[in-house]
Amino acid sequence: MKFTVDQIASLLEGEVVGDGSVEISMLAKIENAKEGEISFISNPKYEHFLYSTNASAVILKKGFEPKKEIKSTLILVDDPYSCFTVLLEEYHKFISFQKTGIEQPSFIGENSTVGDDIYRGAFSYIGNNVKIGNNVKIYPNAYLGDNVVIGDNSIINAGAKLYANTQVGSNCVIHSGTVIGSDGFGFAPQKDGTYKTIPQMGNVIIGNNVDIGANTVIDCATFYGDATKIGDGVKLDNLIQIAHNVEIGNNTVIAAQTGVSGSTKLGENCVIAGQVGIAGHITLANKTSIGAQAGLGKNIKEEGAQLMGSPAFNYKDYYKTYAIFKNLPDLNVRLKQLEEKVLNLPTFQEK
Amino acid sequence: MKFTVDQIASLLEGEVVGDGSVEISMLAKIENAKEGEISFISNPKYEHFLYSTNASAVILKKGFEPKKEIKSTLILVDDPYSCFTVLLEEYHKFISFQKTGIEQPSFIGENSTVGDDIYRGAFSYIGNNVKIGNNVKIYPNAYLGDNVVIGDNSIINAGAKLYANTQVGSNCVIHSGTVIGSDGFGFAPQKDGTYKTIPQMGNVIIGNNVDIGANTVIDCATFYGDATKIGDGVKLDNLIQIAHNVEIGNNTVIAAQTGVSGSTKLGENCVIAGQVGIAGHITLANKTSIGAQAGLGKNIKEEGAQLMGSPAFNYKDYYKTYAIFKNLPDLNVRLKQLEEKVLNLPTFQEK
Amino acid sequence: MKFTVDQIASLLEGEVVGDGSVEISMLAKIENAKEGEISFISNPKYEHFLYSTNASAVILKKGFEPKKEIKSTLILVDDPYSCFTVLLEEYHKFISFQKTGIEQPSFIGENSTVGDDIYRGAFSYIGNNVKIGNNVKIYPNAYLGDNVVIGDNSIINAGAKLYANTQVGSNCVIHSGTVIGSDGFGFAPQKDGTYKTIPQMGNVIIGNNVDIGANTVIDCATFYGDATKIGDGVKLDNLIQIAHNVEIGNNTVIAAQTGVSGSTKLGENCVIAGQVGIAGHITLANKTSIGAQAGLGKNIKEEGAQLMGSPAFNYKDYYKTYAIFKNLPDLNVRLKQLEEKVLNLPTFQEK
């Protein structure tokens, strides 16, 4: 990636102050930026970095008045932060599309079709009857079982594993080591104390614009015709457990190491923190928010509820309660003192 | 898979009502079933689906009297649920045995032997001196280190990794991304604050009929001659941590994201929920049951104990305790009021 | 590995009692040891094993006086435990260096260099511009993206995945399924409820003598030029989550299933137990110690603090508090009794 400051300013509809022919090859934070790099200042408290930075270009808010001499070329815009985000996205697209072609050896089964501009890394495996869209990247050692479907522009990172019949939408990113479509945890107890495995015959259906972190697991649904469903725009972090038949509404975000048990339905735009446990067969309303390490065991019907604790309840009540919990030794002492006082009361001793 | 209703009824020892020559190719839930599919009704509350289903056949209890017209062919049996389970198992066997043969490229080292009807997926790796039984499926990108042993009918899913010397019994399923036999977490602290790695030389021995979910980890034992042991019929979910030298008794079931620390011994037929933490060097009696997110730090000697909380104690006591915990702000107010009342008592003030 | 007892005694600077020409091929615990194996006794309470062991040799403390006849050859040393540790390390080096050479098919991109005595397993993938030191072992199905750097004597186990630009020092061990350099969890909320992915352009830098368990995830830093940093001598267990821009000080040890959120800085020589959650953007002083399942949400400035609970506080206070928590039903009864007594006081009733 090499662009002139003029080219970048034109993309951002900004005004260049200084040498617009300077070449830029990377983005960086203002305090780390080196020659050939572009940065931005949105918060005035970082202004002092502007006078010492080695960045070749800096994006600033229109109307900015420098207090000292500046080496860098400036691009003046209405909203420096959102302009920098645009550049980040462009950069992301750029590197996403660096890898193309088919490395050997790689494997593709029968009746499978792939779109244009695809990347298939070495040792990637594509089973039979797989359908892959345009601009899809399948990194090395990734596994796509039979009948898998992948939409346009999606990225399957190295060593991700998609069991047979998994469906992934467009513009998705699935990180390394993540497993999608493994058997749900279903075993029928027998009279002799053993368990019979209940075959898991459903699949996983993932919407568009979904990001899934590394080493996360999403189990398939139990019955044929059913699916574990991940809605559009959902963002899942690393090491998350999503059990069989779970449904996650659009734009819900879940942080690392959280687990959602079987058949639970999460609403849209929920925000679930890390290491949370959510019981099976419950339903969470839209915009439910759950704090870290909480354990949720019941339906949440009210939209926008904020929960903490295990078992979880309203987060404000939880904080009040926890404050007293921390002082339980004091409370216990107070109770003892009161007991002694009351026992020592003359009228009481007479009874 | 295509069978006639007559063939299926014969397997289930059931009685056919309607056209027994209808062909069935899949199992499904009564509300989702389509033409060519078979379903069942066990619970009378789902009877209404019977009159609208598109299932080509439905398994029902003998003596059932329909209230309306039914399109589907019926199979009448003594126990519809267990008959459906039989079909699920047959289906499971069927799809398990779909994959056979050796895809290329795959790797097999020296002195390794494989049984009949094996599947070795592309990019699967089998080291030296490995012994693999009959009807074993090694999916793509799976790794079996030197001296690994796998019993008959076991399935090693895509990208599972078995370190050298791991032993797996018969009829086991190991899901994608699971790691078995990695080094136990053993480091000897040195005077300068650094740690020396204690080599981990034992292995992992897994019994028969064991199911292990995706991205779970089972560490090897520390000493040569010792093993981390997983008993017959054990069911482990996804993302579980089993540390070095742990022993898990037969038919114990552990849900997702639970961790068991080093050298701990779990009895038989225990039921451990998700996100539980179990300390090292402790022993749990048979049929111990532990609730979600609990933390267990001590031996459980009594068979059938049911525990909750972190640190965990009897679950009934835990619920009582938690109920008061939730009301701590009220309890605190009551204590304050009492303190004020007692302080205001005339006799008390005289002291 | 086959050495005579004389050779081993010479390495340990010990004195041989018995036949020094006996050949040893393995280390074992005294109670399990077989012919051809060497063991040790450090704790006198295990002395009784000495008279029944089948070990060909046993390491003992100088000055030991046997009470019965002993079959084994003895090696007398100043410190049997540390001598045994030396042998464990020698054994570890030995087996670490068993695998050498390049198995086919394996993949190496352009401009990548590898040192001497390397092992590259079948289906291992090395991208472009990768630099690998001497005596490095890359096991089967491992993935090293572009520009990865690996120092001397490091071991990348089967199926570990290192994203582009990851740097690993010397003498490191990375276990199977671990993912290093995956995208940090960064999404900018939009007004319509969707999220924009913030490209993650930094990398991960791992020091020397670092051990990382299986199926752990370490995300890359957000900005180009920044790194998620793992210090020298750090030991990470299995299934750990290390978020973007985290820094872990030298010789810090973290047990399984713990998560550290974005931009948090852990000091040196910290000891973090299993299933702990640590919030983002906080700093922990050196030698901070955190108990299992704790949740830490604030800076720890005092060196050597020991914490428990979620939210965590001083562990002694936590245990006191938890003891009263367990007795809350009793405490509640006491409070009720007191309320009744005070209400029944004659002077009180008059008010």
Q: Is A326 helix (H, G, I), strand (E, B) or coil?
A: helix
Please state, as a whole number, how many other Cβ atoms lie within 10 Å of the Cβ of residue C274: 27
Q: Inter-chain contact A187–B238, Cβ cutoff 8 Å? A: no
**What pLDDT is attached to residue B209?**
96
pLDDT number for residue A347: 54
| Minimal Cβ distance to C195: which of A177, A253, A255 | A253
The model's pTM: 0.91
B68 touches chain A (CB under 8 A): no
A179 to chain B, any CB pair closer than 8 A? The answer is yes
What average pLDDT does range C53-57 have in this prediction? 94
d(CA B115, CA B133) in angstroms, rounded, equals 5
How confident is residue A351, by pLDDT bands cut at 50, 70 and 90?
very low
Taking only the tens place, the pLDDT of each residue in B234-265 is: 999 999 999 999 999 999 999 999 999 999 99
Question: Are the beta carbons of B257 and A261 separated by less than 8 Å?
Answer: no
Distance CA C310, CA B279 (A): 17
Q: Which chains touch C (3 or more CB pairs under 8 A)?
A: A, B
Interface test mutation site (partner B, options C100, C237, C253, C333, max chain B beta carbons within 10 A): C237
- The encoded tokens of residue B257 equal 């994201």
| Mean pLDDT lowest among A102-106, A151-155, A264-268, C81-85 | C81-85
Is pLDDT at A101 greater than 70 in this prediction? yes
pLDDT digits 0-9 by tens, A270-314: 999 999 999 999 999 999 999 999 999 999 999 999 999 999 999
Nearest 5°: phi and psi at B245?
70, 10
Q: Residue type at B192?
A: D
- Separation between Cα atoms, residue C169 and residue C182, nearest integer Å: 18
Q: List, as ranges, residues 241-270 from A with C-beta within 8 Å of B.
A: 241, 243, 257, 259, 261
* Residue B349 backbone dihedrals phi, psi, to 5 degrees: -65, -25
CA C115 from centre of chain: 27
Chain C residue with CA closest to B128: the answer is C99
Does A25 reach chain C within 8 Å, measured CB to CB? no
Q: Taking 70 as the threshold, does the pLDDT of residue A346 lie above it?
A: no
Cβ partners under 8 Å of residue C318, min gap 6:
C291, C307, C308, C309, C312
Q: What is the pLDDT of residues C63-88, one digit of tens each?
A: 988 899 999 999 999 999 888 888 88
Task: Give B185→chain C minimum CA distance, Å.
Answer: 6
Please give the share of chain A, as a percent, with pLDDT higher than 70.
97
Say if residue C273's pLDDT is above 70.
Answer: yes
Of A37, A325, A342, Cβ closest to residue C342 = A342
CATH 3.40.1390.10 intervals, chain B? 3-96
Residues recorded for chain C: 351
Which residue did the predictor score with more confidence, C106 or B191? C106
Dmax over Cα atoms in chain C, in whole Å?
Answer: 98
By the 8 A CB rule, do C210 and C169 touch? yes
**Helix locations, chain C, DSSP H:** 5-12, 47-50, 80-96, 315-326, 328-344, 346-350
A324 to each of A44, B139, B168, C314, C337, how far by Cα in Å? 41, 54, 51, 16, 21
A contact test, residue of C218, C220, C290, C321 with most A CBs within 10 A: C321
pLDDT tens per residue across span B192-242: 999 988 888 899 999 999 999 999 999 999 988 899 999 999 999 999 999
Residue A212 has pLDDT above 90, yes or no: yes
Burial class (CB in 10 A: 0-12, 13-18, 19+), C314: middle
In terms of Cα–Cα distance, which of C341, A331, C333, C331 is closest to B345?
Answer: C341
Q: Is the pLDDT of residue A349 over 50?
A: no
List CB contacts (< 8 A) between A159 and chain B. 141, 159
Q: Is A94 exposed, middle or buried (0-12, 13-18, 19+ CB in 10 A)?
A: exposed
Residues of C marked active site are found at: 244
**Reduced to 3 states, what is the DSSP secondary structure of residue C21?**
coil
Contact A26, C224 (CB under 8 A): yes
State mean pLDDT over B56-84: 92
Q: Which of A31, A173, A328 to mutate to test the interface with C (most CBs of C within 10 A)?
A: A328
C199 vs A347, residue with greater confidence? C199
Residue C2 banded pLDDT, cuts 50, 70, 90: confident
Query: What confidence category does residue B351 fall into, taking pLDDT thresholds of 50, 70 and 90?
Result: very low
pLDDT of residue B24: 92
Task: Note whether C185 and A255 are within 8 A (CB).
Answer: yes
B63 in contact with A at a CB cutoff of 8 Å?
no
CA C228/CA C231 separation, integer angstroms: 10
Q: Tell me: pLDDT of A95 over 70.
A: no
Cα separations in angstroms, A279 against A265, A302, A317: 10, 18, 21
Q: Are B219 and B236 in contact (CB under 8 A)?
A: no
The residue with greater pLDDT, A252 or A186, is A252
Q: Where are the extended beta strands (E) located within A286-339?
A: 289-290, 295-296, 306-308, 313-314
CB contact under 8 A, B342 and C342: yes
**Lowest-pLDDT choice from A196-210, C203-217, C259-273, C300-314:** A196-210
Q: In this model, does residue B275 exceed pLDDT 90?
A: yes
Q: Is B219 on the interface with A (CB under 8 A)?
A: no
pLDDT at A129 over 90: yes
CA angle, B164 as apex, B160 and B165 as ends, to 5°? 110
In chain C, CATH 2.160.10.10 sits at: 101-316
Separation between Cα atoms, residue C218 and residue C258, nearest integer Å: 12
Torsion of CA B51, B55, B57, B63, to 10 degrees: -30
* C293: nearest CB among B123, B201, B310: B310
Chain B contact for C1 (CB, 8 A cutoff) = no
Listed in order, strand segments (DSSP E) in B128-183 are 131-132, 137-138, 143-144, 149-150, 155-156, 161-162, 167-168, 173-174, 179-182
Query: Two tokens at C222?
Result: 């957000």
Average pLDDT of chain C is: 93
Residue B350's pLDDT is what? 43
Name every chain A residue with its beta carbon within 8 A of the beta carbon of C277: 257, 274-275, 292-293
Structure tokens at C133: 């030191």
- How high does pLDDT run on average in chain B? 93
Task: Report residue B164 as tokens.
Answer: 């050298």
Q: Is the pLDDT of residue B149 over 60?
A: yes
Is C223 at the interface with chain A, CB within 8 A?
yes
pLDDT classification of B188: cutoffs 50, 70, 90: confident
Cα B220 from Cα B229, distance rounded (Å):
9
Chains touching B (at least 3 CB pairs under 8 A) are: A, C
CATH class label, A101-316: mainly beta
- Within a 10 A sphere around the Cβ of A323, how many other Cβ atoms? 12
Residue tagged active-site, from B48, B92, B175, B244: B244
More confident residue, B274 or C42: B274
Contacts of C130 (CB under 8 A, 6+ apart): C108, C109, C112, C113, C144, C146, C147, C148, C149, C150
Q: Smallest Cβ distance to A199: which of B91, B103, B331?
A: B91
Q: What is the 3-state secondary structure (H, E, C) of B249-297?
A: CCCCEECCCCEECCCCEECCCCEECCCCEECCCCEECCCCEECCCCEEC
d(Cα A310, Cα B274) in Å, to the nearest integer?
13
Q: What is chain A's Cα-based Rg?
A: 28
On the question of pLDDT at B346 being above 70, the answer is no
Task: Please report the pLDDT score of residue B93 as a whole number.
Answer: 73
Tens digit of each residue's pLDDT (9 = 90 or more) over B11-21: 999 999 999 99
Region at C135 (left for phi over 0; alpha for psi -120 to 50; beta for the rest): left
Confidence grade of residue A348 (pLDDT, cut at 50, 70, 90): very low
Give the chain B residue nearest A333 (alpha carbons).
B335
Contacts of B123 (CB under 8 A, 6+ apart): A105, A107, A123, A125, A141, B105, B106, B140, B141, C123, C141
- Is the interface score ipTM higher than 0.95? no
- pLDDT of the residue at C196: 84
pLDDT band at C343 (very low <50, low <70, confident <90, very high): confident
pLDDT tens digits for range B23-49: 998 888 898 889 999 999 988 889 999
The tokens for B245 are 């030298």
Contacts of B279 in chain C (CB under 8 A): 292
Q: B202 is written with which tokens?
A: 């034992």
Model confidence over C297-337: pLDDT tens digits? 999 999 999 999 999 999 999 999 999 999 999 999 999 99
Superfamily of domain C3-96, CATH level 4: MurE/MurF, N-terminal domain (3.40.1390.10)
CB atoms near residue A192 (< 10 Å): 8
Does the pLDDT at position C349 exceed 60?
A: no
* Strands in B66-201 per DSSP E: 73-77, 101-102, 107-108, 113-114, 119-120, 125-126, 131-132, 137-138, 143-144, 149-150, 155-156, 161-162, 167-168, 173-174, 179-182, 187-189, 195-197
Cβ(B124)–Cβ(B148) under 8 Å?
no
Could you tell me how many helices (H) and strands (E) chain A has, helices first?
Answer: 6, 40
* Chain B residue closest in CA terms to A296: B292
Q: How many CB atoms lie within 10 A of CB A349?
A: 9
Strand order in the sheet with C161-162: C107-108, C125-126, C143-144, C161-162, C179-182, C217-219, C241-242, C259-260, C277-278, C295-296
Is pLDDT of C184 > 90? yes
Dist. CA B19–CA B137, nearest whole Å: 38
Angle, CA A50 vertex, CA A45 and CA A53 arms, to 5°: 130
